[in-house]
Chains A and B, each alone.
Chain A
Amino acid sequence: MPDPGRAGAADAALDVRGLSKSYGTRPALAEVDLRVEAGELVGLLGPNGAGKSTLTKVACGLVAPTSGGAQVCGWPAGAAPARRSLGYLAETFRFPGWATGNELLEFHQALAQSPGGDLERSEALEAVGLADAANVRVEAMSKGMQQRLGIAQALLGSPRLLLLDEPTSALDPAGRRVVRDLLERQRSRGVSVLLNSHLLSEVELVCDRVVILSGGRVVTQGRPSDLTRPRGVEVQTANGVRRFDAASREDAPRLVAELVSAGEAIYGVQVLTSTLEEVYLDAVEGAGP
């Protein structure tokens, strides 16, 4: 039995066990188990109302579980050491419009008890592409800039776990690329990330593992490559594209050999797999309402 009062390097960044949460009679989460290891980037997917934000809020200590619980870096979610270990960006958030970007980060540094000073603030702003906006007031920033500022504040205090709820919803493609690069850099430093997002292509690109929630339950989880399944092989020939739906990757050399021996000229071969979007839709629709 692990001692919940002590945190160590072996502890998962986030360990959710048997977590249930109901708002009145409406269940939001039911017996959810989820683990995010150190340095792991996990995508949390699900339709609206699946319980993604509630799960993140429980991990932050903003919402109390009905039963079960979560630990952050070995500490009970909501406890001061757990809060010290995480950086959080809410799906809907607002910063005071009168503050400049730099003032806001300075305030959050003080709250996070971070000794990082000017250097940490300028690095955080630079990491999200706001290096030139340090002295711009929040009320003068676009929604995308405010979202980047939100990500920058989550980085303060060198958290071991980042909980990001729809961090790119207001960003343009270039902004999303900046955030993707940032998340990969964080992972390389051993920081764990739980990423809530509706942008499946983005999750597929950056996440080590995905967890799909539906109706408050985990309906599937695994590595994106493990979740996808074969969908056949496509061969480009002089006579057009030939598609073999029942074939798998292992069948490709044999198919090419047969076509060549039949006198076909081959210009390309592509092994087809289902996309994360298809996996997601299958999982969510299979789970029912």
Chain B
Amino acid sequence: MRAIAGHTLRESLRRRVFVVVGVLSAVFLALYAWGASEAFDSVPDLGGRELLEARTFAGAVLLGLSMFATLFLGAVLAIFLTAGAVRGDAERSLLQPLVVRPPGRTQLLLARFAAAGGVAGAYALGMYALSVAITAAAGGWLPDHVVLPGLGLALGVVVIAALSLLGSVFLSVTANGIAAFMLLGAGLTAGLLGEIGEAVGSESLQTAARTAAWAVPFEALYQASLHALTSESSGLTGVVLRLGPFGGAQGAGPQLWLWTIVYVGLVLWMACAAFARRDL
């Protein structure tokens, strides 16, 4: 299993996937640092201090935006590392020589997941940590919970890797990539609709959002991560920040984390079961 995961990572390294991701991430972080610095310099103009905790507002919005970008980039990485894992590699005749070796299909699939999920999760965690550090350096602001949002983002990206891997058993690379990105978009849209539903008092929208959160828990994890940034904030600041960027903040209990772990296990089990029956 270690050999297969190592082979997957070495392939990404040799194909310069990590170089491209690293350069683009560095550009993003540089722009983020510049934007954060400018935003915090303008904080006194954002609103009256008596109504809104301006630095908290600026820091949470900036970090929330960075988390959205991190979720998206992490999802891109996870999807690119897994989209062609089964059918794509089989169609290119890369998979067959590996499947006939003793480790077999289940180990092969789990190793691919470990490599992709590990890299994408670590990437999300690293990007979040750097964003927090930049935000703290630029404005002297730290989120109420520093570690939890990062773990939520990382786990969300791991969920996307698992879903993309499941899709790779049935779909060609292009179709699976499109499906995975549409799922990502649908999940984020469902979260946003849930916030709108809460704002306008629509029970059906909230039910749809809750259902989507169970069906694709990366969205619920993202919302919970946003919520954890300012979960201790109260008053107008707390109310305003609940309507975060690209889907609102929504707290979640430990059952979300538990469900996510069970969910990933179920998705991988389905992927392994389907792969075991597939003629190559």
Contact = CB atoms under 8 A, between A and B. Distances in A.
B20 interface: no
Given A93-B96, A107-B7, A62 B102 contact: no
B55 to A, nearest CB: 48
A222 B185 CA distance: 62
A190 interface: no
Nearest to A112: B101
B20 to A, nearest CB: 15
A218 interface: no
B121 to A, nearest CB: 24
B98 interface: yes
A61 B108 CA distance: 14
Place the interface of chain A in its size category. Answer: 20 to 34
Interface in B1-52: 3-4, 7, 11, 14-15
A98 B94 contact: no
Nearest to B104: A80
Contacts of A182: none
Contact of B93 (A23, A57, A90, A108): A90
Nearest to B7: A107
Contacts of A80: 102, 104
A84 B100 CA distance: 8
Given A111-B102, A112-B101, A62 B96 contact: yes
Nearest to A92: B93
A57 B11 CA distance: 27
A138 B103 CA distance: 24
Nearest to A86: B100
Given A57-B280, A63-B279, A112-B102, A90 B96 contact: yes
A83 B177 CA distance: 32
A60 interface: yes
Interface string B241-266: 00000000000000000000000000
A64 B92 CA distance: 20
Nearest to B90: A62
Contacts of A93: 93, 96-97
| Most-contacted residue by chain A among B94, B96, B97, B279 (CB, 10 A) | B97
B99 interface: yes
A112 B4 CA distance: 12
Given A92-B93, A93-B93, A96-B94, A64 B277 contact: yes
Interface of A: 23, 57, 60-64, 80, 83-84, 86, 88, 90, 92-96, 98-99, 107-108, 110-113, 150, 153
8 contacts: A57-B280, A60-B100, A62-B280, A64-B277, A83-B102, A98-B15, A99-B14, A113-B102
What 3 A-B pairs are tightest by C-beta distance, nearest first?
A110-B3, A111-B101, A98-B14
Given A57-B280, A112-B102, 16 more contacts: A60-B96, A60-B100, A62-B96, A62-B100, A62-B279, A63-B279, A63-B280, A84-B102, A88-B96, A92-B93, A94-B94, A96-B11, A98-B14, A107-B7, A111-B101, A111-B102
